[in-house]
Structure 1
Amino acid sequence: AYLRSGFIDGDFDFFDEKRYWHFDAVTETGYVANYWPMGPALFWSPFFLAGHGLAAVYNAMDYPVPLDGHSFPYQTLTFLGSSIEGFAALFLCYALTRRLYSARAALAASVFAFTATCLPYFVFVRNRMSHSTDVLACLIFFYFYLKYRESESKPWSFFVLWGALGGLLIMVRYINVFYLIIPFWLIVETALDKEASPKRKRIVFGKFFAGGIALAVVFAPQLAAWNSLHGVLSSLNPYTVVVRPSLFSVLGSYKDFLFGGNQGLFFFEPIWALGLVGLVFVFLRDRRFAGPCLAAAFLFTVAPVVVGHDGSFGQRYLLPALPLLAIGLAEVVERARRFQGIVWVAGAAASAWIFLLIAHYKTVFEHNVPDYISQTFKNVPSLFESGEFFRPTTLPHYLSTGNYGLDDYRDVFFLLIFPTLQILVPIVLTLAVFRLREGTPLFKKAKGYVVPAAAAALLAISAAATIFIAVRHPPLPVEVKSERHRISAAGKFLKAFPNPKKMDAELKRAERFSGNEDAHLALRGDAFFIRREFEPARKFYALAVAKNPRSYAALQLERADFLAGRIDLDPASLLNELKSGKSGDEINRRLGIYYLDALKQPVEAMKYFKSSLETNPEQAHKKGMESALSQYGKQWRRLTSRGQDPDSLPGLYFHMLNTEVNRARLNFFQIDQPF
């Protein structure tokens, strides 16, 4: 959302963001909360821009590909970018472990750290999530720790860049703040070093302080976004802590984390146990290096324990600790030289187990099935027998049909361009890595400028982004805040239907910002109308009409009177009156109500509403009928595009006729009406 909204809309106002589920999370500022960090947007931006360019090319060729940030070029290339970042992380992991271990140990550790954890799911399946980006950022940060250990007399620019990377790391995923235990550990280590002179200590402290300033500058855009959107320096994430703050709750959560039947770490991803053993061996061999590593590893177990994520695949909150896992695995492989065959077999088995878990998670079991691990183990033979292992949607199946026809531009993209990119990009990356490793003359000449240039670029981009966010999100007028809270009330009511408590709380916030009583009263009437409690609904509608006779509640009041049995609508009599030449606006409107609420035929109902408005465009019921027409128009296009009958549209879509409420509540479908 940060990337699309910032590039396409030029702001981070997510209230009108298409397909944004939390559009109703309106804060005290009137803006919509965004609980997630903006760091991944920076990593994905080159791929998003490539998607924008491709969409522009399609438009130049007269293909109907929207330049809105949502069409398939944007999404597909961004997903591809996520996978590329995972692939780049694999190379960096090897480079990192190779600095400490033999080539064979580094290769085994890198491969199994990737294939025997839940990471493949987020690199190749659920790649719209930022976990591959997260792992890449963590590896880069940890690589700087290794460089520091190799030679502690680094220039100031090294610490500035390391600090800037720390800020970026936290912006990718907030729990990555645990990695800051490493520089804090180093500062304490320097302070306790009896052999270091006071001058040297001051220099080291100064360099780390400079890194801290750089971290703050890079993280400043996130703080600016929180302040502008939320009104506080917090993510406001309601899903942050779910475990009760008691010893028994924490211990029970740790037990589930390690041995639970759904995602227990040692059963789901047993490779972590091997990596932990390796880290202990590293600590016994080199406490100075491994001390902060073990401390960070322990802190990363906090997130899975206190944050609920049963609906996810594996222990994804442990993925930031993958550099630590790789170090531990490399230590085990290096020590077990006599048994390397066994180690490779064990790693391959753990990787195959992850693949089977993914296959069951995506194709066999219902979402979040209890005792998922044991159920998967029991069902492995059935996976092959049922044919689910070779699904007819796979590329091999498509090739086996012998039908290689490309019917339209989407076929060309998904069956030709995208698979080609998937093959070529890893090859190009591999060649580039080995070329850089050999060292080109240009790279060798520019090597001394890379660190300061990268630090300066990160700081400049961060400062510009902070200013942009502050300028583009001024305080909203109280009328806008009131309207948005009212729309939020409608959204929260429908999500928690039929409980109106959240709606009432949000309406109170709306009323605090602005009077606009008729809209608030009408929405309270809608809450009863949608539950088919027509008597209390009509009372609120009547109050709303008394405040504003031209409110959309005027139409709703007439509908509630009809459904409550207070007025009788006879279509035959109404049609005769219409033929006799009587005023058509009221008759057409009442016929529309009859077809909509009695016969459940919205197609005919909308025709009568349209005729009523054409006869008398200034009638008091205008707003309600325009809302109904607008709402129907959106859904008509959606249903007909799917080959469905527009008359199958549920009455729910006409229960809340406030135009703004419907625009936001159903903002997934931003399309014109067909009338």
Structure 2
Amino acid sequence: MRLKSKEFLLLFGIFYAFFLLLAPFDSFGTIPLSFHQGFFSLVRFDLVADDGGHYAYLRSLFFDGNIDFANEPFNSLLKPDVTGYLSNPWTIGASILWTPFFLIGHLITLTLNWLGCSLGEHGYSYPYISMLAIGSLFYSYCGLVFCVKFLELLFPSGSFFATVVTFTSSCFLYYSFIRPYSDANMEFFALSLFIYLFTFYAVRKPDGRAFFICLGISCGLLALIRFNGIIYLAIIITYLTLTIRISRISVTNIVYTLIPFLVVISVQGCCNKVLHGGMFLVSKDTTGNVVSFDIVKMKDILIGKSGLLLQCPVYLTGILGYVDLIRHHKSLRQYCYALFSGFLLQILLVSTLANYGNDYGIRYLASTIVLVMPGIARFFSQLNKTKIFLAVGLVLWQYVQVIQYKIIFDYHNFSIFKAPYYLWLILKDRQDLLLRSSNYVSLVLRGFWGVENYTDAYFLCFIPCFVAALLFLTPYILTVCKKKIAIGFVLIFFLFTSCLIVFNSPKFSQDETDRRHRLYSQVNIPDAVGYTFKMMNDNLGIKVQNW
């Protein structure tokens, strides 16, 4: 992957600056608890919901060698299936991508303990958790690199500007830096990789087998990270149908794409087999989330109190840009239709879900910002001097929401319409909240930069240096990952994980299965997780009535 050094140095600088400005380091060493912050940080995540569910696969496989979640802290939310295993409604994809960073965290924990610390070597001490967060940062950054590269294939200039503006004015500011344990970061990476490969196919017409193997892996990752990611495969189908190229695809290329795809998704199939008794069976919590299509819900998703188009107005510029591309660029017309079909289909699919990810933004749709980037790039390319003012306005609109979410905004009644009023309150009485939480900038400006022990050194010195080195080396890491030996290693790793899940997971006797059903039928979920929720609410920080 050939890179323009100046652009990627600038991308590195912008991304790293936002990391220092937004990522909460939490409380450690001599750092007080007085910082106003939301629930999430580099060392704290939602143990009893999505974050814990994704991580449970990795922790259980590493320490226990299987996916029996009975000894996982979040298991009070789960119920045994017919197999006796606890049913996990979350997929294994995030755990797969976190693996290298988890291993780094394990090595750091062993090293710190050797130096005299007393950290738990169980997967929940701060080196493990912080490395998972940094892993998510890395994948977000890789996604941005792929976005720049696929836009360069379409437009001779403006790809870098469009990518930076889109990212910093979208809800990925929140998921990249404040809640990095969500699977949204990994889906953003996988979708960016997929669209880069798809764009390369549409523009360059490659015929090498390595390309189609990578395409198959990217398709598999989309389905592995989140079940609704499979809908993005409609982009390829739509494009091939519109361009009447299906008959021209060789059987060999289909095989090179299909086999890696099956290898990757086989990991989730093996999990389903162990947990639910069949490769195509999923948790009842997953299927129970699917209801009938509701037009009112779709309206809320688009223009509700946390609606996509209102919280991230940059989507509107993308839609307008697509209209202009379709009208004036016949060569890109089928390409635009294909990408926009994936965007619309994902919205329709999410509109059928009872819980459609209405956290910050519409979490299930956060990654779709990649699909409208060509339109955004086109829109800004048509503007002259005014594009700078529009870009700054879009970024500030997102930033004022990010710094207030779960600090002043009520957790369950978040509304973007509250943002201007609360911003005025902050500017009038609490300017310190403009530097949300215990981020690195806040720590330094408030004088908490002394290193008194290994914990201080880890947070104040090691993490900023490690993140800087990782981001700086990312283009070279991606270049290495293109090589055939790296592609082969990835496929072998997925096959190994599938075999480990199938052959190392014991089958429970009927007596043990019945015992588990009896045990979990007596668990009162609100009581079991009440303390965690209470702790989360106590950490929301300043409330409006306390002004």
Q: Which segment is superposed worse, 281-290 or 267-276?
A: 281-290
Which of 414, 425, 441 aligns to 2:470? It is 425
Q: Which segment is superposed worse, 87-96 or 123-132?
A: 87-96
SS at match of 1:363: coil
Q: How many residues align?
A: 469
Query: For the Cα contact (< 8 Å) 1:311–1:367, is it kept in 2?
Result: no
Query: For the Cα contact (< 8 Å) 1:170–1:177, is it kept in 2?
Result: yes
Q: 1:291 to 1:310 in 2, by over 3 A?
A: closer
Q: State how far apart, in whole Å, the 1-side matches of 2:269 and 2:288 are.
A: 21
Q: State how far apart, in whole Å, the 2-side matches of 1:341 and 1:315 are.
A: 32
Structure 2 residue aligned with 1:267: 310
Describe the superposition over 1:317-344 as per-residue Cα deviations: whole angstroms up to 9, x where unpaired.
Answer: 222323222111111122x1xx332222
Structure-to-structure mapping, 1:286-435, within 5 angstroms: 286-307=332-353, 308-309=355-356, 312-334=359-381, 336=382, 339-369=383-413, 372-387=415-430, 388-390=433-435, 393-402=438-447, 404-429=449-474, 432=476
SS at match of 1:340: coil
Equivalent AA in structure 2 for residue 346 of structure 1: L
SS at match of 2:434: coil
Structure 1 stretches of 5 or more lacking a match? 437-442, 499-634, 636-675
Structure 1 residue aligned with 2:302: 258
SS at match of 1:50: helix
Query: For the Cα contact (< 8 Å) 1:164–1:214, is it kept in 2?
Result: yes
Post-superposition offset of 1:481? 1.0
Post-superposition offset of 1:487? 2.1
Query: For the Cα contact (< 8 Å) 1:300–1:318, is it kept in 2?
Result: yes
Structure-to-structure mapping, 1:154-165, within 5 angstroms: 154-165=207-218
Q: State how far apart, in whole Å, the 1-side matches of 2:525 and 2:134 are.
A: 37
% identical aligned pairs: 23
Post-superposition offset of 1:494? 5.2
Equivalent AA in structure 2 for residue 224 of structure 1: C
Q: State how far apart, in whole Å, the 2-side matches of 1:47 and 1:239 are.
A: 28
Which of 68, 76, 88 aligns to 1:13? It is 68
Post-superposition offset of 1:402? 4.4
Post-superposition offset of 1:44? 1.2
Post-superposition offset of 1:258? 1.6
Which of 151, 154, 162 aligns to 1:109? It is 162
2:527 matched to 1:474?
A: no
Q: State how far apart, in whole Å, the 2-side matches of 1:214 and 1:400 are.
A: 49
Query: For the Cα contact (< 8 Å) 1:243–1:305, is it kept in 2?
Result: no
**TM-score normalised per structure 2:** 0.79
Structure 1 residue aligned with 2:275: 229
Post-superposition offset of 1:153? 4.7
Q: State how far apart, in whole Å, the 2-side matches of 1:364 and 1:381 are.
A: 12
Q: State how far apart, in whole Å, the 2-side matches of 1:109 and 1:226 are.
A: 40
Structure 2 residue aligned with 1:35: 89
Structure 2 residue aligned with 1:641: none
**TM-score normalised per structure 1:** 0.65
Q: State how far apart, in whole Å, the 2-side matches of 1:390 and 1:71 are.
A: 26
Q: 1:174 to 1:341 in 2, by over 3 A?
A: farther
Structure 2 residue aligned with 1:89: 143
Query: For the Cα contact (< 8 Å) 2:92–2:225, is it kept in 1?
Result: yes
Structure 1 residue aligned with 2:220: 167
Post-superposition offset of 1:185? 2.9
Query: For the Cα contact (< 8 Å) 2:309–2:316, is it kept in 1?
Result: yes
Structure 2 residue aligned with 1:465: 497
Post-superposition offset of 1:405? 3.7
Structure 1 residue aligned with 2:16: none
Q: 1:492 to 1:223 in 2, by over 3 A?
A: farther
Q: 1:317 to 1:282 in 2, by over 3 A?
A: farther
2:180 matched to 1:127?
A: yes
SS at match of 1:59: helix
Query: For the Cα contact (< 8 Å) 2:340–2:372, is it kept in 1?
Result: no
Describe the superposition over 1:515-554 as per-residue Cα deviations: whole angstroms up to 9, x where unpaired.
Answer: xxxxxxxxxxxxxxxxxxxxxxxxxxxxxxxxxxxxxxxx
Query: For the Cα contact (< 8 Å) 2:147–2:370, is it kept in 1?
Result: yes
Q: 1:329 to 1:21 in 2, by over 3 A?
A: farther
Post-superposition offset of 1:86? 1.2
SS at match of 2:405: helix
Equivalent AA in structure 1 for residue 369 of structure 2: L
Post-superposition offset of 1:359? 1.5
Structure 1 residue aligned with 2:18: none
Q: 1:271 to 1:21 in 2, by over 3 A?
A: farther
Query: For the Cα contact (< 8 Å) 1:167–1:219, is it kept in 2?
Result: yes
Query: For the Cα contact (< 8 Å) 2:57–2:92, is it kept in 1?
Result: yes
Q: 1:364 to 1:202 in 2, by over 3 A?
A: closer
Describe the superposition over 1:77-98 as per-residue Cα deviations: whole angstroms up to 9, x where unpaired.
Answer: 1101111221222222112111
Equivalent AA in structure 1 for residue 313 of structure 2: P
Post-superposition offset of 1:218? 1.5
Post-superposition offset of 1:20? 4.1
Post-superposition offset of 1:102? 3.1
Q: 1:154 to 1:476 in 2, by over 3 A?
A: same
Q: 1:237 to 1:152 in 2, by over 3 A?
A: farther
Equivalent AA in structure 2 for residue 132 of structure 1: N
Equivalent AA in structure 1 for residue 200 of structure 2: K
Q: State how far apart, in whole Å, the 2-side matches of 1:401 and 1:176 are.
A: 43
Q: State how far apart, in whole Å, the 2-side matches of 1:162 and 1:453 are.
A: 16
Which of 65, 80, 96 aligns to 1:26? It is 80
Structure 2 residue aligned with 1:213: 259
Q: State how far apart, in whole Å, the 1-side matches of 2:275 and 2:364 are.
A: 26
Post-superposition offset of 1:14? 0.7
Describe the superposition over 1:353-376 as per-residue Cα deviations: whole angstroms up to 9, x where unpaired.
Answer: 111111221311220216x12122
Equivalent AA in structure 2 for residue 50 of structure 1: I
Post-superposition offset of 1:206? 4.3
Query: For the Cα contact (< 8 Å) 1:26–1:33, is it kept in 2?
Result: yes
Q: 1:354 to 1:141 in 2, by over 3 A?
A: same
Structure 1 residue aligned with 2:103: 49
Q: State how far apart, in whole Å, the 1-side matches of 2:448 and 2:285 are.
A: 50
Post-superposition offset of 1:124? 0.3
Structure-to-structure mapping, 1:174-189, within 5 angstroms: 174-189=227-242
Query: For the Cα contact (< 8 Å) 1:164–1:215, is it kept in 2?
Result: yes
Which of 317, 322, 325 aligns to 1:282? It is 325
Q: State how far apart, in whole Å, the 2-side matches of 1:162 and 1:343 are.
A: 35
Post-superposition offset of 1:17? 1.1
Q: 1:203 to 1:317 in 2, by over 3 A?
A: closer
Post-superposition offset of 1:398? 3.6
Equivalent AA in structure 2 for residue 33 of structure 1: S
Q: 1:113 to 1:33 in 2, by over 3 A?
A: same
Equivalent AA in structure 2 for residue 318 of structure 1: L
Q: State how far apart, in whole Å, the 1-side matches of 2:473 and 2:489 are.
A: 26
Equivalent AA in structure 2 for residue 378 of structure 1: Y
Structure-to-structure mapping, 1:593-632, within 5 angstroms: none
Q: State how far apart, in whole Å, the 2-side matches of 1:214 and 1:398 are.
A: 46
Q: State how far apart, in whole Å, the 2-side matches of 1:400 and 1:185 are.
A: 52
Rg comparison, structure with higher value: 1
Q: 1:255 to 1:392 in 2, by over 3 A?
A: closer
Structure-to-structure mapping, 1:537-556, within 5 angstroms: none
Equivalent AA in structure 2 for residue 269 of structure 1: C
Structure 2 stretches of 5 or more lacking a match? 1-55, 532-547
Equivalent AA in structure 1 for residue 264 of structure 2: V
